[in-house]
Amino acid sequence: MASLRSLVLASNNLTGNLPDMSGLTNLQVIDVGGNSLGPAFPELGRKVVTMVLSGNRFTGGLPAELTSFYLLERLDVSWNRFVGPFVPALLSLPAIRYLNVAGNRFTGVLSDKVPCGDNLQFVDLSSNLLTGSEPACLRPDKKPATVVLVNANCLDTADDASQHPSPFCQNQALAVGITHGKQSKKTTHQPGVVAGIAMAVLAAVSAIGVMAFFAARKKNKKGAMVRPPATAFGEDNSSSTSGYPSKMFADARYISQTVKLGALGIPPYRTFSMVELEAATDNFENSLLLGQDSFGEMYRGRLGNGTLVAIRSLKVKRNQSSLSFSRHIETISRLRHRNLVSALGHCFEYDLDDSTVTQLYLVFEYVQNGNLRSRISQGTEGRKLTWAQRISAATGIANGIQFLHAGMMPGLFGNNLKINNILLDQNHVAKISSYNIPILGEAMKPEGSRHQTESPMLSDKTDIFDFGVILLEIVSGKPITSLYEVEIMKELLLWAVADEDLVRRRSFADQEVSKGCSDESLRTIMQICLRCLAKEAAQRPSIEDVLWNLQFAAQVQDDWEGDNRSSEGSLVSSSSRATKSSRFQNEKTRSGREKECEDSSARGSVWLQAATEDGNFETACNIGRRQAEDERY
């Protein structure tokens, strides 16, 4: 027990006070969110890195000792019953990255001079009774990469519409009977919860031992275990003793340098006011309506600075808990990446009588260059993407998938990716617009998912399969709308890649790009596409493997195009006269040979057309003859 590093008992039915855990000196992660624990704040050691107490019944004030938790990176005490002064020193803890105190009754006067830690990346102070000014260190011009939520307080901010009037907070503070000071350590622990937690810890330790035993046996028998995709955080999973490494390490520092770079150029996430949204949409004018469903509407709008946005309005159910809002907004606020339709902010509309939320508005960037299918299989001549542009789009999609899987905590899997949900901006940058985020019930849950029966542990591979389908359409240029069509096209692709026959590959590829692509690049894309479409999820590649192959294909294509440009430039002057003088004779000779080849096999003419376009006449003629002979026997 003394060596326990991670204790996760989230979303159970635990009640009562937690036992004294100050003796667990190696404990780094405690997650008991989503229970009914309390009212006393738990006694913990000072080495805790991640502390999640959200969605319980803890009351009173936060203990003063929290300010000496110098290793603490993630603190979530949201949606409890805490009262008393908010402790600004929490914002400047040396390691703090994530601070969420939303949905309590914290009071106090904030100042714009309150300091913040250098590592802060997410702060949620919303739905409390705070007054004064928003700390200057939390403003977008000071921390552009930090998500900051301060709505539903009584603060003096640029967005006054999201704040209550000052008398509201003063009256509420008096009504709740604020208590001050440190809570007594002499709390009584209910026998049930003490026994329950002790049993849970023992069960966890036993389970770890059993898993380690069988893992060792499996590794010894097979030599090498199937490893899951590497995360974006570079953590060594083997160091975990809890079976919960992603929560213990990645969740504690869930935004990596890669994530920060992916969000470059995207405006900071913020809270919008209703006045701003009404002005952006001309009071939600019908002509700006992009679509609607049973959950709400989507409008196109233009912000005051000229930025085009898509505004999703969602009806709020009365029985929806405030905790659901907090978790949803927290997840949405992280959807910020170059290859995602990124979230820019949100707005709550409140009932004037009881201050409850009546409508939720989500603001996303507006992408106006159509979807990927419109430039691949449904594009008109001259508007279809080149082969290099298609590789770039596929790489962008893969980058977006990697971010959804590893750049967020928890990761988003099973996103029901489809080619018509991949949008293109004015620079042909691909952006994923579908996310598996249940919002207010089932509002954004992907419909018609074809992967319902797969194991949750392999859920990242469902997105890999969907990516394979998109890649199949990118290569073939043919619209794919059903699993039956996927199987047919997969068989044709398998046949095309089966040997080193250039003509087979060229015949499968979209004729719009087959003449302008390197054979090695085309073959690499085809091979990774087949692996993505493997029937067994465990046989599909990791997203990192996919990205490596796409980047290799892009490099090969770039080198091939450079060589072609170079050779064309050096030969054009010396060969132009010879080409003109011999063109007629070559065309005459080829015409006679084509007739001879076509006569040898009716099917040969099909391959002849594909190869003569590429200049490989002899290969085409020989293939046609061989196929004709095969069919005779």
DSSP result, 189-223: PPHHHHHHHHHHHHHHHHHHHHHHHHHHHHHHHHS
Q: What is the three-class DSSP state of 186?
A: coil
Q: Between the CA of residue 554 and those of 305, 426, 475, 548, 550, what are the distances in Å?
A: 37, 21, 14, 10, 6
pLDDT above 90: residue 249: no
State pLDDT tens for residues 563-596: 877 766 554 444 444 444 444 344 444 444 444 4
At 631, list the tokens.
Answer: 């069919």
Domains in the chain, ordered, with CATH?
6-177 (3.80.10.10), 584-633 (no CATH)
Contact, 563 vs 542, CB < 8 A?
A: no
The DSSP-derived string for 493-534 is: HHHHHSSS-HHHHHHHS-TTTGGGS-HHHHHHHHHHHHHHT-
**Average pLDDT, integer, range 474-488:** 93
The DSSP-derived string for 3-34 is: T--EEE--SS--EEPPPPBTT-TT--EEE--S
Question: In 335-373, which positions are buried (b, 16+ CB within 10 angstroms) versus exposed (e)?
Answer: bbbbbbbbbbbbbbebeeeeeebeebbbbbbbbeeebbb
Q: How confident is the model at residue 246 (pLDDT cuts 50, 70, 90)?
A: very low
pLDDT above 70: residue 23: yes
Q: How confident is the model at residue 250 (pLDDT cuts 50, 70, 90)?
A: very low
Within 8 A by CB and 6+ apart from 265, the residues are 338
Q: What is the residue-averaged pLDDT of the chain? A: 75
| Whole-number Å distance between alpha carbons of 376 and 397 | 15
pLDDT at 629: 45
Q: 615 or 17, which is more confident?
A: 17
Within 8 A by CB and 6+ apart from 74, the residues are 49, 50, 51, 52, 96, 97, 98, 251, 252, 253, 254
Highest averaged pLDDT of the listed ranges 115-119, 148-152, 394-398, 504-508 = 394-398
Find the distance separating the first CA and the last CA of the chain, reported in whole Å.
74
| Whole-number Å distance between alpha carbons of 465 and 490 | 12
Percentage above 90 pLDDT, the chain = 36
| Whole-number Å distance between alpha carbons of 397 and 372 | 11
Burial class (CB in 10 A: 0-12, 13-18, 19+), 292: exposed
Q: How many CA atoms lie within 13 A of 33 on its CB side?
A: 17
pTM of the predicted model, to two decimals? 0.56
Contact, 233 vs 257, CB < 8 A?
A: no
State pLDDT tens for residues 132-190: 998 988 888 777 768 888 888 999 887 677 788 888 887 777 665 544 333 433 344 44
Q: What is the three-class DSSP state of 350?
A: strand
Q: How confident is the model at residue 324 (pLDDT cuts 50, 70, 90)?
A: low
| Whole-number Å distance between alpha carbons of 516 and 557 | 9
At 492, list the tokens.
Answer: 């044709």
| Whole-number Å distance between alpha carbons of 461 and 455 | 10
Q: How confident is the model at residue 437 (pLDDT cuts 50, 70, 90)?
A: confident
Query: Among 325, 407, 336, 408, which Cα is nearest to 365's?
Result: 336
Q: 328 or 217, which is more confident?
A: 328
pLDDT at 16: 92
At 83, list the tokens.
Answer: 């009262």
Query: Among 137, 139, 143, which Cα is nearest to 121's?
Result: 143
| Whole-number Å distance between alpha carbons of 165 and 189 | 40
| Whole-number Å distance between alpha carbons of 108 and 90 | 14
The DSSP-derived string for 119-155 is: T--EEE--SSEEEEE--GGGSTTT-TT-EEE--SSEE
pLDDT at 322: 56
Residue type, 438: P
State pLDDT tens for residues 284-295: 999 999 988 777
pLDDT at 319: 56
pLDDT at 515: 82
**Average pLDDT, integer, range 308-321:** 80
| Whole-number Å distance between alpha carbons of 460 and 27 | 30
**Average pLDDT, integer, range 52-75:** 91
pLDDT at 52: 94
State pLDDT tens for residues 383-409: 789 999 999 999 999 999 999 998 877
Contact, 414 vs 406, CB < 8 A?
A: no
Q: What is the three-class DSSP state of 417?
A: coil
Q: How confident is the model at residue 264 (pLDDT cuts 50, 70, 90)?
A: low
Contact, 117 vs 90, CB < 8 A?
A: no
| Whole-number Å distance between alpha carbons of 169 and 155 | 10
At 540, list the tokens.
Answer: 């599909």
pLDDT above 60: residue 456: no
| Whole-number Å distance between alpha carbons of 533 and 511 | 23
| Crossing angle of the two packed helices 617-632 and 543-600, in degrees rounded to 10 | 80
Q: How confident is the model at residue 528 (pLDDT cuts 50, 70, 90)?
A: very high
| Whole-number Å distance between alpha carbons of 590 and 613 | 13
pLDDT above 80: residue 215: no
Contact, 477 vs 509, CB < 8 A?
A: yes
Q: What is the dihedral of CA 426, 427, 428, 432, to 10 degrees?
A: -80
| Whole-number Å distance between alpha carbons of 528 and 543 | 11
pLDDT at 152: 85
**Average pLDDT, integer, range 351-359:** 72
| Whole-number Å distance between alpha carbons of 96 and 118 | 8
